[in-house]
Each structure stands twice: as structure tokens, then as C-alpha cells.
Structure 1
């Protein structure tokens, strides 16, 4: 390949010199590691060297991807910095050969196109002028492309047609070449193509919660993981990767993202679904024999089309939506007030010490004031401990004052007996107060309509609460709780016991956060140090509407004590303009607030196909033919999507019988195999494929309700290159795509 760039020879020479430096360092590290040792310190050092070796070996063929020339204002010195996934230092001279993308100076590469620039260091702000930004495409130690002036500001769509931008070169060539690549079964890093708005999120302040509303394909997941990498690199003396936590919607998704973590230098990070993590916390509180209901069951109820279950759906919706809501949090807070003001009987505390015949006492009004007001900052059980300690101190002080005034001299055994009597008295006094544990209180509350009504806002109707109580009773009588109960129980435990002296997580990432409830996010914030959280999601993809969020406002206003940063990402880097235009049409029909159209990066492709088959056999034959053609064209991942798990099993079986090699994915699967995959629509969330084929896009499967609209939008926004929609027989088109009915082709 001939590269027509005036700096090609200079840059290729520089690349070869860098590769030589890396190979030399690899050889030295291999030599060091050959020396086996039993010494613990040397083992730790060798472990670090082994990690360095792994990263160098993965960098040798592609050591960097960018260059920035920066002239400092104060010294007029020109720094020419090459930026890669890992920093590389020449061992003999300690000169920096490649700068780590997470280093402060590397932020210049990702910032906008203004020549006046700056970067922050621990010593302060360094200002200057960017003289050059350059991208490199490198394969096997050879430069295959050089792009100057890359990483443009987000394109202003208002000043011209897409074609004008392409002709005038406004699109970032380097980014465009990356987006056109085919997609395999794993998430990739984006360190070479991070855009300005993404960079702002990645490098945001550590001790602050940030919430990101990002459209499909905006890179939310990738940004969150790169933020982890950035925080670990820049704050390694303050935080530990083993105390980082990533929450994702399911095990399949966790597997999908796991491969990219080591590449980003994010090792030992904990990963879990919220239900999995919370169940471990709650199981210790459950009586023997109690179980947690499979969290996938409600999802199947709402997406399976069964007209006979409408009442069950309504009751389940009301029950689950209440349990994760602000209303439930407020109800639990009010229960604590009810406990303090009505359940506890405050009485005078009197104690006559026979040895001195002195009466020690505290008035109930003083005890009440101490417990409710003075110790208000403490959880319930620690209040009791604080009250007992305070009373004991007061009585001891009274005793010594009395002894001094009466000139009485008590021996040590007498003082010990006094202390023992006080302990017995306090135990007797406090033993009459209610014994409270989170699980018992919570399950009793769910079954007590009158108390629930008393503690709950009037915004919640009687009918809604009746649904909560009646259906909860049935579950509790079977000695079961459901996944939606976990967050309220943990929050109540926090009110009663606190969350421990030190939060277990240094930083928490919540991906697909729109499908967590308000109360679940609140609980995670209570387990995270300094509210250091990255919360990413898309309200348009909230397919768990019965339990998730329909607005970010409760999270932004009612969880965090400190200021929360909110970012909106509207640029989509996944799908072509043609695919996103179809997907956006579904969203536009919902007219939902806080939701905007995805703005696709300027990449054109094939128009989506809307196909009508005579019958299922006809449809399956056509699918088989088109899948085989896609694979022959070099596409690596094809998704065949049904609405329900039941339909996906039938379609997978039928296509296998026709000779198509494929995998079927269900709720409990943990591995994303790549290739051709048949799966239900709700499992596609967060994933992407080269080609997506959506079956039964009719008014029976995707009805005129917001939940179905969001589910359809999720599936249609998964493909990188091609989207095919099928309808069968005389079925009518879903109302969400009625304007596309004229585009249907008969097969």
C-alpha cells in the first residue's frame, strides 16, 4: 500500500524506532521473569513485570495511534507527543517514547479543534497552542494511513446536508474507517477514536456522580469502562481497582464487556447484576427456607401475549413499580418516624443505688429529645447504643458528684457493682422497646394495608396499594420475596443499621441504568465512597418500564448530597444514517419527554428492508438465504430477533432443521458466541451486530403501547450495517412503523 503523505517516511522511521524500543524491553522483561523465586517481594515485582510484558506484547505491532504537537505559552517549547494505549519509556534514558492515553497531556488529542488549548496537571494548568493533531492507522508495525486534523468537533447538522459534509471533508476520516469495520462478539476499546463529548465524561471529576443519557450507539458502555481505566491510572494512590464495581443488566452483557477490561488496564474489577449482588446481602437476613423469585419471570409475563393475564399484569406492574419508587423510599422514611414517635414508649428512668441511697433519674422528655433529635444522624440501632452510652455516662457522673458532695469513699468492687446494676437497668429499660429487623418490618408493612396507607403519599391510589398488599401477601405466604424487594430491604437495613464504617466501593458503574429502579440506584449510592459513580443509560431503551426509570429527575434530585453532573449524548456511532432514520421513527411516535432522536454519524449504507412472507416456511427460507449471503460478504455477527423467548426457540429449531448453523440465547446464558444468533428482543439491549433481522413486526407483536415501542426501538438500533424486518401473511404493520408500510416488499 502506498501512503501519499509528505511525512510518511519520517513517521515510518519513528514507528520502527519505537517498535525496536518495545522489542528490546520485551526481551529484558522475559529475561527478568526467567528467574524463579520464593521471595514474596520478588514475586510481587515479577507479577507487575508480567503485566507490563502482556501490555508491551499487545502494543508492539500498534504502539500508538495519535500525535499531538503542543507549544507551551510560557516557554515556547514544542512538545511532540505520541499517544497509545500504554505509556512506553526507554529504559536507559527514561525518555517517554509513547504517552498513555489517560495521561493529562493526552487530553489535548481528544479536545476540540481550537488551537488555544490547555491540560490539567497536579501542579496546575498548562496552556499553549496545538500545532498539529495526527492519527495513524497501523497494522503489524507498518503505517497504513495518516490523517491530519482528525477528531473534529461534533458536526453541526443545521448548516448543510450530509452530502456537503462528506464532500468538504468534515467527517473524521480516521473515525469513519473505524466505524466501517465489521463487528465480532466482543466489545472493543475506543481509545484511538474518543470524541470530545465522550472525553469530557471519561475525565470528569472523581468524587462526583455523573449521569449520562445517551442514545443507542453513542458509546455509553464503552465510555463508562474507559472512565474506570482513567480513574485507576490517575488516582491509583487513592483507589483500588478491586473496589470498583460494574453493574450490568445480565450475565450475558457482563461477558460481552469482560474482554475489553484487561486491554484497558482494568483488572480485578468486580462485576455483577444488581439482583445478584443484592441477593447476597439480603440472604443473610432471610429466615431459613425463604427463597428469591426468579427475576426473569415478570419480564416474560409482560412480553408474552396472553389476553387472559391482563389483571395479573396490572397487579404485578403496580406492585413492582411501587417497590422501586420514590414513594417506597418516603414510606420507609416515614416508618422510621412512626417508630420513633409512636411505637416507642418513652418513660422516666429511675435508679436507686442502695449503697449510697441516692436516686439517679432521667426524665422521659430528655430521653426522647436525645433519641429523636440529638442522635438523629445515627441509624436506629446505633442510636440505641449511643443512648445507652450517654445515659451510663450521665449516671456515672451523677454518682461521682454525689460521692464528692457527701464525702463518701467507695471501693473498686462497689463501683463495679454499680456499673453492673446500671447495665442491667438499661438492658431492662431498652428491652421493652420494639425489636426491629429489616426483613420482618418490611414483610409486615407489605401486608398491612392500613399502616401502608397511613405512611404512603396520597399520590398512590387506594387501588394501587390494594394491588401491592394483596399480591405481596400471596408471595410472602409462600415464603418468597422477589428481586424488587431487595432494594427496599437493603434501604431499611441502612436506616436501622447503617452501611458500615466504610463504603465497600471506591467507584461504581451502572450500565443500562434506566432499567434499575430509583431505590436500587439509591442503595448503590449508599455503598459507594464519596458518591463516586458513573450512571449511564437511555430512557428510550427502558424496556423494564414496570420497575425502571421513565425520567432521570428522581435520580438527579433525590439521591446525591453533592452536585451531580448530567450529560446528554445524541451522536450515534453504531448504525448508518438509513438504519437510524427508521429507528428514530419509532421513537418519534411515542412523544416521550427527555428523549431525543439519535443523530447518526455521517455514514451511509443500505436502506433497511421490510419484507412480507407468505408463510413461516417462506420466511425461514428467505432468512437462510440472506444470512448466508451476509456471512459470505464478510459480516461476522447476525442476530435473528423474535419478541419472546418461546418464539426464539421455535425459530432457532426450524432454521437449524433447514441447515443454518446458529446459536440460541436465553435469559440464563452467560456467553455471547458471535456468528448467527437467535434471541428474544429484550436480550439484545446493550449488544450490537453487523446484521439484525427482526421477525413479526406486526400490530399483534408490537402493539400501540410505549413498552412495545421501546422494545422495537432497541432491536432496530442494534445493527452496524444492515437491518431487515419481516412480516408474515396478512398481518398488519405495527403502528410504530405505519409510514413504512409502502416500503414492504413481497418475497
Structure 2
């Protein structure tokens, strides 16, 4: 298929524009057909009954994408096609017309096994556990996250194949595959609504840049290259840069200040501040035209402003309408005087200097960044906008210690940029995409949720998260509240509790924290037969013990994550370097780190051992996890409950084994020593 695409002749185009379009289309097609020889193109087979109304006894091979032969006949059917749905949902209770389902096992691109499951007939036996399915789930992985098309479970497939018009919220415990489900839903929607979503766009919003690099290969591996991926910080920073290229995010806020700035009440404060710029007319408008002067009385102009306010349009859109309203009033007066003006005369009047100056006086232009800067630096302006919304103490908390010289000189924080994004939307409507996937959404503030919701105001969304893993001071406490601020109160909430990735022994140990951090959530369970390995050891020299343990873990098959309190990263990495243990540090660019010539520092997800600060562990998975100093992870957060939630995240990153090393006493919420 790649060869046929590459052989297409672009010189046959009728003109140079058509040739450019054709070359671009071929390039994108070649990108979509990029293949990894270690990843099999097919993983299953369906044999349908003769009585099936569509398949009629046909046999279909199911794979990551559609594959056709030299004459265009299908050899492999895309996993997202309707006929493939039975591969994930058919059961002996409901065979869906399938007589036999076959699963193929692969190792390094080579087929190593297959399993047959008869779903109908007189001799149907009880369900047997699929060894191939288990092997695929537990197969060691090195590098970024991979797709799960061969192991999607029925309850996951229901979410993946939800209709485009439907917004879905997935409350998923660790290891339930919620991130994979969200990405595969994006891939399914791009397949089912290709033309619409290619035009409207699909966006994936993740918690940090390391997480995006971790999941970055999933959609391209499925042939989908149209979806964009970003973080909430990059999303609002783009708005900031669009307003003025000199504006950028360079500052940080104290947790209490950032929490207040993320409160949804700030939306009302910004709305009031913006519309307070309107000025009542103090005199009428006079427009000379030819030998005559035409006048619009001040009360008429005031009525026009009031009428535009009542329409509920954006500030900038209404401001653009005002000159036309004023010009139309003059046009009416001309007609009453016996003239016969047309639309061209109205446009000329609207563009005339007296009308433009008068409109600017009543409805001045507003820079969203300057508006937020004035709110945070002018006590009187803030007090007027926040009267009855924020308390005097909260207003004092928001104000900067020193007034800013201008927006370009401000060290804007992420929370500030979110406020500017809100103001920018009030001035001019934010363009809506067709679909947005918001991962780890429980950690978004109410104002951040509003910012994400604006990007899918006319589209749909897939919200992914776990309330038990909420680790920011401004995190959501319920999905009902989060969906309200997202603007998707009609979203369907699904709960995934069956863990396919985290071993039973590990998830049960981590679940000891749930009565404290999320007492209302149903505890997760592991459906895997293998219990996994869990070792908890107290040591006297944490760094030396870590170096020894890292050597042991790095010798195992699969990826290794060394998760530790952020404050311990310098000491531990120095010890690893001295011990000659190769590693990469998540969140750091090796090119900017000065190291000796021992060449032990690698790039994240490409190194055998990844050093993972606890603040970046969310959403990641490793075959083997070495976790250091749980008490330090807890005390590294603003409060104890948040710290315990962070520890819960870190404890549930292992797919095969977890080793916990600690010098301090373990948090009592973990119960008796393991």
C-alpha cells in the first residue's frame, strides 16, 4: 500500500495549486501508512455463521488498520469497523453471529501462538481464560506507551465506540486503562467521522509534557496523525502569545493564590471588569457629509449600546456592530430628509472618523492581558469588579505586591494565563473543536475546566481521571462539579474498577489509602491471575540501597521506573552516576545537564531506568517500579491528604513488580508493615 501511494504521479495535476494539494495528500497518506515491523498488523480473526445477515459465513482478520491487496480487496479489517465489534464484545451468552474467534500471539513481530474460542454450537464449553490476552497485557515494555487494540475489554469497547455527539466521563482506578480508552476513542471517532473531525479538529490535553511524550506514539501507531496533543499550560500560553508575542508564562503562584485564581467566581469578576469599560454618551454624534451635518442624539446612542448588551454577543463582536448601528441611524435620517442612500453609503459612514471615534469612546477596545493585569494590580478596580463575589481578604490575596509596568514585563503564571484566556473568550469567542480528550482532568481547576470546555463548546469531550489521584490544591472533588464547569452537564459517567495493568498484590496494598483519600469510591480490583511481586524494605542508607536495587531492577526484562520525592532527585541521581548506573530523568533535557564523560544519562522513556519525580509519575506505567521514601512523598505536598493521594499514584505505577525502600517510618495509613 505504501509502494502504491509512493508511485502516484503528481505531475498529472491540472495546475500548480492542484499539484501542491496532491503532494500534501500523498505525504499525509504515507505518514499514516508508516509501519513498525515489530508491531503485527493483525491480532485476531472472526469466523461468522452462514446465517449472519451481513457476514454470511465470511472470515475476517482484525488488525490495527485496514490492509488491502494489490487489487484493493481487504486482507485485514480495521479494528474500528462495525464488523470488528464482535471481536471485543461477542461472548457465549451473546455470540453476535460469530462461530469462532481466534487470537494471535506475537513476539518481536513474529507469530508465536494462537487460541481459538468457539462461541456457538452444541459443544460450547465454559469460558477459558485467554493466555494470549494475559501475555499481551503483561508483556514487558520499553519506551513510550503502546496501543491496546488487541486487549480492549467489552466495558472499555463500549466507551471507545460511544457516538461523537456524546460526551463521556471515565472515572478509572489505576491500571484500568482509562488513558488508553480515551486515546482509542479519539482514534475511533477520527475513523468514523473522518471528514468532519479532520475539518474541526481533535485535541488531547494531558497533565505535563513528559506524559504527552509517553502517550505520543499511540495514535500514530493506529494511523491517526491529525489529532493534536497539548497541556493546559501550553493551551493558555498559546492564547497569551496570540494576544502579543512578547507575553509568556514565566512565573508561579503560591498554592493558596493559585487556588483562588482557579475558582469559578473569577469568571464573574472578569466579566464585570470587562463590561465596566462601556461609557455612557455625554453628547450626541455629529457626522458631516457633503454640505449637511447629521446628528445622532446621545439617548439614541445609549439605546443602541443597551440593545447590543442585551443580545448577549461577545464584547468585541458587539463593539464591531456599534459603528454600523450608528451609521444606520444616520441613514434613516437621510431617507427621511428625502435622500436615497444605499448600503455603500452606510458602510462609508460607519468607516468615517467621527463615527469610529465616537464608537471607540462609548465602547473602547480591551486587551485581555491588560485587563487581568489591571485587576491584579489596581485595588479599586478589583474591588469594584469583585464586590459581593470575593471577600476583602481574598481581594488582598490576589493583588500583586508591586504594580506592573506593562503586560510584557509581567511574569505571568499559569493561573494568570487561564484568567487571560477567560477574558479573551469574552472579547472574542474561542473556536470550538470537534472533540477534546482531557486526561487527568481531576487535577484541573474550575477555571482550567472552563478553558478546556471552550475548546469543545459545540463539540464533545472524553474526560478521563480518578478522584483518588487528585493531587493539586484546586482539584475537583466530584465529577458533577467538574462537568458543570466544563459545560458538559449531560456527559455520561462511566466507572472502571477492573485493573488489567496493576498486579493484585500491589493494588491491594495501595488501596489501604482509599478510606482516607477517597472513601466514596469503589476499591479497584485486579483481574490478572498473577499476583505480582511486592517488597517493602527499611534501609539505613537510602542512596546506597537505591543504587544496589537499581542495578538489580535494571537487569530485569522490561522498563524500570525509580519514583522518588522531588527533593531527593539530586542526591539519588548523583549516587546513580557515581555507581555507573545508566538512567534518564523525566522532565529534564539531557542536553542541558552537565555530566561527566561516563555517558550514564539518557533520554526519558528510551533509557532502561527512568528516574521519575513523584510530581511527574501520574499516568505513567513501568514493568518494575522502585519507590523511595513514601513518607517523603506525603510530606512533599501542601497537606497530608494531597500527599497521600500522590503516594497512591506512585504506588500504582507498576505492571509486574514493586519494591519500596524507606528510611523513615511508613505513613500509618498504609497499616501494618508489609
Paired with 1:230 and 1:209, the residues of 2 have a C-alpha distance of 14
Unpaired stretches in structure 1, ≥5 consecutive residues: 1-25, 118-127, 151-167, 299-315
Helix, strand or coil for the counterpart of 2:655?
strand
In the other structure, the counterpart of 2:102 is: 134
In the other structure, the counterpart of 1:64 is: 43
Residues 22-67 of structure 1 show CA distances to partners (whole Å, capped at 9, x for unaligned) of xxxx6xx6477468765565746754774576449677x5533232
Helix, strand or coil for the counterpart of 2:611?
strand
Residues 420-476 of structure 1 show CA distances to partners (whole Å, capped at 9, x for unaligned) of 599344234223234422111111112344554554486754433322225585898
In the other structure, the counterpart of 1:5 is: none
Residues 329-350 of structure 1 show CA distances to partners (whole Å, capped at 9, x for unaligned) of 22223334545xxx52145635
1:673-712 correspondence runs (5 A): 673-698=606-631, 702=635, 705-712=640-647
Note if 1:324 corresponds to 2:262: yes
Note if 1:605 corresponds to 2:542: no
Cα 1:549–1:456, aligned 2, differ >3 Å: closer, same or farther? farther
Residues 577-628 of structure 1 show CA distances to partners (whole Å, capped at 9, x for unaligned) of 00000111122222455x4422222333345222111x21xx4444444443
Note if 1:439 corresponds to 2:361: no
* Matched-pair contact (CA < 8 Å) for 1:667–1:683: no
Equivalent of residue 246 in structure 1, options 201, 204, 210: 204
1:401-420 correspondence runs (5 A): 401-403=336-338, 420=349
Paired with 1:325 and 1:490, the residues of 2 have a C-alpha distance of 14
Residues 253-305 of structure 1 show CA distances to partners (whole Å, capped at 9, x for unaligned) of 222222233211111432222212322321343595x65225xx66xxxxxxx
Q: State the TM-score, normalizing by the size of structure 1.
A: 0.77
Note if 1:370 corresponds to 2:307: yes
* Matched-pair contact (CA < 8 Å) for 1:642–1:681: yes
In the other structure, the counterpart of 1:546 is: 473
Paired with 2:486 and 2:509, the residues of 1 have a C-alpha distance of 36
Equivalent of residue 330 in structure 2, options 395, 398, 410: 395
Bigger-Rg structure (1/2): 1
* Matched-pair contact (CA < 8 Å) for 2:45–2:59: no
Equivalent of residue 517 in structure 1, options 413, 426, 445: 445
* Matched-pair contact (CA < 8 Å) for 2:445–2:475: yes
Paired with 2:654 and 2:164, the residues of 1 have a C-alpha distance of 34
1:327-366 correspondence runs (5 A): 327-336=265-274, 338-339=276-277, 343-347=278-282, 349=284, 351=286, 355=291, 360-361=296-297, 363-364=300-301, 366=303
How many matched pairs? 642
Paired with 1:445 and 1:380, the residues of 2 have a C-alpha distance of 18
Identify the range of structure 1 (36-45 vs 184-193) with the bigger mean alpha-carbon deviation: 36-45
How far 1:483 moved relative to its partner?
1.3
* Matched-pair contact (CA < 8 Å) for 2:630–2:666: yes
In the other structure, the counterpart of 2:66 is: 87
* Matched-pair contact (CA < 8 Å) for 1:115–1:131: no
Note if 1:486 corresponds to 2:417: yes
In the other structure, the counterpart of 1:427 is: 356
Cα 1:579–1:39, aligned 2, differ >3 Å: closer, same or farther? same
Paired with 1:530 and 1:242, the residues of 2 have a C-alpha distance of 10
Cα 1:621–1:77, aligned 2, differ >3 Å: closer, same or farther? same
* Matched-pair contact (CA < 8 Å) for 2:138–2:501: no
Paired with 2:55 and 2:348, the residues of 1 have a C-alpha distance of 75
How far 1:547 moved relative to its partner?
3.9
* Matched-pair contact (CA < 8 Å) for 2:49–2:58: yes
How far 1:174 moved relative to its partner?
3.4
How far 1:540 moved relative to its partner?
1.9
Identify the range of structure 1 (455-464 vs 204-213) with the bigger mean alpha-carbon deviation: 455-464
In the other structure, the counterpart of 2:436 is: 508
Cα 1:555–1:668, aligned 2, differ >3 Å: closer, same or farther? farther
In the other structure, the counterpart of 2:516 is: 589
Paired with 1:367 and 1:241, the residues of 2 have a C-alpha distance of 37
Paired with 1:653 and 1:190, the residues of 2 have a C-alpha distance of 37
How far 1:320 moved relative to its partner?
0.4
Cα 1:31–1:487, aligned 2, differ >3 Å: closer, same or farther? closer
* Matched-pair contact (CA < 8 Å) for 1:641–1:648: no
Paired with 2:212 and 2:347, the residues of 1 have a C-alpha distance of 60
Helix, strand or coil for the counterpart of 1:694?
strand
In the other structure, the counterpart of 1:163 is: none
Equivalent of residue 148 in structure 1, options 117, 120, 144: 117
Equivalent of residue 293 in structure 1, options 222, 228, 250: 250
In the other structure, the counterpart of 2:123 is: none
* Matched-pair contact (CA < 8 Å) for 1:217–1:717: yes
Paired with 1:57 and 1:239, the residues of 2 have a C-alpha distance of 29
Aligned-pair Cα RMSD in Å: 3.6
Paired with 2:580 and 2:571, the residues of 1 have a C-alpha distance of 15
In the other structure, the counterpart of 2:426 is: 495
* Matched-pair contact (CA < 8 Å) for 1:636–1:674: no
In the other structure, the counterpart of 1:383 is: 318
Identify the range of structure 1 (35-44 vs 209-218) with the bigger mean alpha-carbon deviation: 35-44
Paired with 1:442 and 1:581, the residues of 2 have a C-alpha distance of 47
Paired with 1:494 and 1:453, the residues of 2 have a C-alpha distance of 22
Equivalent of residue 506 in structure 2, options 579, 588, 612: 579
